[in-house]
Structure 1
Amino acid sequence: MARQPNILFIMADQLRADYLGCYGHPTIRTPNLDRLAADGTRFTRAYAQAPVCGGSRMSFYTGRYAYSHGAAYNNYPLRLDEWTIGDYLRPQGYRVALVGKTHMEADLAGFRRLGIDPGSGPGLLARECGFEPFERDDGLHPDQVVDPNLAYNRWLNGKGYPGANPWHDYANSVEGPDGEVLSGWYMRNSHLPARVAEAHSETAYMTDRAMEFITEAGETPWCLHLSYIKPHWPYVAPAPYHAMYGHNAIQPANRTAAEAEAANPVVRAFMAHEESLNFARDEVRERVIPAYMGLTTQLDDHLGRLFAFLQERGIDDNTIIVFTSDHGDYLGDHWLGEKDLFHEESVRIPLIVRDPRPRADGGRGRAADAFAEAIDLAPSFLDWAGGEARPERLEGRSLAPLLAGQAPSDWRDAVFSDSCFAQRPARITLGLDVADARAFMVRTERWKYVHFEKHPPLLHDLGNDPAEQHDLGRDPGHEAVRAEMRGLLFDWLRRRRLRTTIGDALIARKTGNAKERGYLFGVW
């Protein structure tokens, strides 16, 4: 019997697909991910199911759309009854662990209702999104009450960095001209090097911890979710990565004055956010984007170190490597900062999969144009582990046929994403109730349509306007297209897997045989 493959599930935070060399960026250096793509399959049209950390990650982990699992935004608790990757892989004999970030908020009310201890046994796994928390670190706000037991802070203390929160004071702060400590949360400081040595930075530390887990796991098949915090803000890179790129290495902003003048009311409200107003200024982009690129190259360098470690241990030939991101970053494109909306810069994600086994040779080195979604990873992992498919819960599909170079005839011809922006200032600007601050996206080969409650939709003709600079959502000549796209959204909403406790196959077996099962309906 063939050995079950290990699964190394790597996620960067807020990394755009087009900020990797293998995805066409002309100046960034990412040789290790480029080699991974050359030896695997690079998906050119992969999409997040929610363009924000929490909602996107919960879709990755559950294999379900954000509309289905409900935890669509940061700190929205994931229902206790939702299954995640660990629930699917542990019965197959896998050790399923986390090193890094999940952004998962536990359903503590559900724990209390059922009398489950969230601090031990199955309760601990459920509280940690189904992962064994080998090292969990979601990132800390500078004014947050710091957990004194946070491993990275304790480790930094042991390396000679004093204070209760060296994560902020050293790893994400810089020094001014007079030696004063300047917080990396202020983007004006992004051009300066972090106060921490590169070897002690978050990215280096999490890579080390991943190697420690792999060593400890030994011969047991494992799935490790290595989830890096960077290049997500604070946009602060350690030397030498802080100075690796200059403003001449960044790409021009994808935006026009006409786009701003004719903006959809919802997009216009997001353009008024502080991060958007700042990223609209060239001086901000020229200071922040080189740091973002430096953080990305640093990540790539440490992945090269990790990939070499797998080879040295002789397990790279039985380890499937998945690299992706939870969402993108506008960086000033479309006059926007952050994410939350559905332009390609925000919702399209990198997805590179290297399956070293011969079964994937047909797709090796290919750029796969088939639509992929974040929810495809959980069913892919289950497939690779040899488990039985769970279509009553999982809304994605295994990518295994595409890795073999075989596109199923019934593969999807559209992708979907949805968003809750109730906690964003735009909701107040727009005068929306919390329940109405929702948005739904459908993207087909040619069209991208975004539905907003109580406001006009967005429509982009990607065939003629791939940069998404011309909104046709209110154009009278495109009502037929909008109607067709609304129909696709309605079809999608009706087909969500909300009945998760019994599968279609069992229902089908029970159909029409009530008498055999002892139920006599209407018998004379």
Structure 2
Amino acid sequence: MKSQLKTGMLLCGGILGGSAAAQTEQPNILLVLSDDQSAFAVGCYGNGDIVTPNLDRFASEGVRFNRAYATSPQSVPSRASIMTGRSPVAVNMTRFNVTLARRFRAFPEYLREKGYYTGVAGRGYHLDGAVSGRVGRIKEVEQYYIDHGYKTFPERLDTCMIVADARKGACHGQINDQFRTFMARRDKDKPFFLQLSYSDPHHPYDAPKLHDPASLTLPEFYPDTQAVREYLAAYYDEIHRLDSDFGEVLQYLDDHGLAENTIVIFMGDNGGAQFMAKGTLYENGIKVPLLIRWPERIPAAVTDAVVSNVDLAATCLSAAGLPVPAEMEGENLLPLLTEGAEPEERYVYSVRSCHATNSLPEDTSVFDQMRCIVGERYKLIYNLLPGQPWVPVDFAKTEMFRELARMNESGQLAPRFGKLYFSPTRPMFELYDLETDPHEQRNLADDPALRSVRDDLILKLTYKMIEDEDFATLPHPKIYERRENLQ
């Protein structure tokens, strides 16, 4: 699966290499994050069922990344990587009720030091202690965070505006109101950076109905029931609402003459609350939409390069003409974006850890431990709790999923779906050939012909976990050799 850049127009020469960056007017940077959106859920990614005209048009004007991965299938760890350019494990952000420690700097801080007006707006930015509803004695814990200096983002940025829960009905409009407030409040003599975080398409789904459940083409790993169709249609409805809100933001930039010198990045923070998605390390859990537009600086293109959300920090700093701190592990994507530079072979990593809960963990929806490594062709998943069954995040208690459970118990559910979603255990290692099996339906970890591939990925993952000082047990290949000798 060789990386390639398919370009609709050519750019003569690089624009931000070396000293040229410092001579270029610093661009505004608008980072737009959707909440729980898998890459498959956008029209420009080949989905003919979903209605996303603004995202599709935006993609045609910039670069669409076909293989962009999140460092976690969960919001808090993923967004920590976006802000720091580092693994969520390396910055101790693998659980929800934790704040980003002062010793770990967010890349907007570097922009602010060099003259940018910076801010976050929209749904809670997930980095300053997502406490509410997730621990006992909420008020006391919130106050402890404040009294002891754990909440740091109001000091790191010029403006912090939060919609604590914008998932109900018309409340979603508050996010674009905050965008306009930021734009009015900012220092007009400075370039700006803003992370604008939408709540859509996070579960529960409450957007106006638009998509017809009966007309949808279900992914091959979706059981075909009326309830499943309605659930997927409702997810698409959420994304259509998000698309409309995003269109308003783009129109604002056009109307105020800001579009030309504003880098707009649209990305999903992690996969949606769907099958084989959020809370898992399968493609729909960690492969997300990534679209980047910078008029007249970045040619319209589509790329299959393997990239990660950990790359955004280095890319934004480089676009602003700033050096990338040594501790940041992400790649600067500007050579790829501006020149179509062929990237070297790349491996990216993702982590599944604790999830939001207001009680002790009862199942793997709220407490699971997984790690994975993704290359150009193969992916390896390491399950640290193989003896525990998978339980979906956010929709385990829906009537849709309960119906599937009843069907499985009564023998009405096709065996392959029973194995996928109701197996009492999971394998320790999963190996997938993403070229021949993009939906990850055939685990090749036990295939003798791919033993060297499997062991090489296990070793690379081991090295990464060592570098990050990961708290999880290392997945050394000897684990597998011992298991095989016992068979």
How well do the aligned residues superpose, as a CA RMSD in angstroms? Answer: 3.0
1:204 Cα deviation after fit: 2.4
Quick check: 1:125–1:132 contact (8 Å CA) kept in 2?
no
Distance 1:41 1:64 in 2: 23
Distance 1:464 1:372 in 2: 20
1:495 Cα deviation after fit: 4.2
Distance 2:164 2:108 in 1: 19
Quick check: 1:13–1:229 contact (8 Å CA) kept in 2?
yes
Q: How does 1:141-156 map to 2 (within 5 A)?
A: none
Residue in 1 that maps onto 2:271: 328
Q: How does 1:7-22 map to 2 (within 5 A)?
A: 7-22=29-44
Distance 1:447 1:426 in 2: 35
- Aligned partner of 1:316: which letter? A
Out of 127, 137, 146, the residue aligned to residue 163 of structure 2 is 137
2:262 is the counterpart of 1:319: yes
- Aligned partner of 1:100: which letter? G
Other structure's SS at 1:49 match: coil
Residue in 2 that maps onto 1:521: none
1:84 Cα deviation after fit: 0.7
Distance 2:130 2:178 in 1: 27
Distance 1:352 1:397 in 2: 16
Out of 239, 242, 247, the residue aligned to residue 213 of structure 2 is 247
Distance 1:339 1:107, change over 3 A: closer
2:204 is the counterpart of 1:234: yes
Residue in 2 that maps onto 1:460: 432
Quick check: 2:200–2:238 contact (8 Å CA) kept in 1?
yes
The CA deviation string for residues 395-414 of structure 1, in whole angstroms up to 9 with x for no partner, is 102111111133255x3422
Q: TM-score, normalised by structure 2?
A: 0.73
Other structure's SS at 1:473 match: coil
Query: Which one has a larger percent helix, Structure 1 or Structure 2?
Result: 1
Residue in 2 that maps onto 1:415: 348
- Aligned partner of 1:103: which letter? H
Quick check: 1:138–1:229 contact (8 Å CA) kept in 2?
no
Quick check: 1:125–1:131 contact (8 Å CA) kept in 2?
no
Quick check: 1:118–1:127 contact (8 Å CA) kept in 2?
no
Residue in 1 that maps onto 2:322: 387
1:215 Cα deviation after fit: 2.5
Distance 1:93 1:126, change over 3 A: same
Distance 2:203 2:256 in 1: 34
2:183 is the counterpart of 1:214: yes
Quick check: 1:340–1:421 contact (8 Å CA) kept in 2?
no
Residue in 2 that maps onto 1:509: none
Distance 1:479 1:369 in 2: 26
1:387 Cα deviation after fit: 1.3
Identity of aligned residues (%): 27
Rg comparison, structure with higher value: 1
1:79 Cα deviation after fit: 2.2
2:307 is the counterpart of 1:368: no
Out of 203, 228, 232, the residue aligned to residue 172 of structure 2 is 203
2:299 is the counterpart of 1:356: no
Structure 1: state its 5+ residue gaps: 109-115, 140-166, 173-193, 195-200, 257-279, 499-524
Quick check: 1:84–1:129 contact (8 Å CA) kept in 2?
no
Quick check: 1:15–1:231 contact (8 Å CA) kept in 2?
yes
1:453 Cα deviation after fit: 2.6
Distance 1:403 1:426, change over 3 A: farther
1:484 Cα deviation after fit: 1.4
Distance 1:124 1:461, change over 3 A: closer
Residue in 1 that maps onto 2:66: 44
Distance 1:41 1:366 in 2: 5
Other structure's SS at 2:185 match: helix
The CA deviation string for residues 398-440 of structure 1, in whole angstroms up to 9 with x for no partner, is 111111133255x34221111214778998668x9x8xx5321
Distance 1:325 1:497 in 2: 27
Q: How does 1:278-293 map to 2 (within 5 A)?
A: 282-293=225-236
Quick check: 1:71–1:77 contact (8 Å CA) kept in 2?
yes
- Aligned partner of 1:490: which letter? T
Structure 2: state its 5+ residue gaps: 1-22, 132-143, 387-427, 471-487
Out of 331, 335, 358, the residue aligned to residue 401 of structure 1 is 335
Report the count of equivalent residues. 391
Distance 1:448 1:129 in 2: 40
Distance 1:254 1:103, change over 3 A: farther
Residue in 2 that maps onto 1:29: 51
Q: TM-score, normalised by structure 1?
A: 0.68
- Aligned partner of 1:371: which letter? V
The CA deviation string for residues 471-510 of structure 1, in whole angstroms up to 9 with x for no partner, is 1234455332211111221233344499xxxxxxxxxxxx
Out of 431, 446, 464, the residue aligned to residue 492 of structure 1 is 464
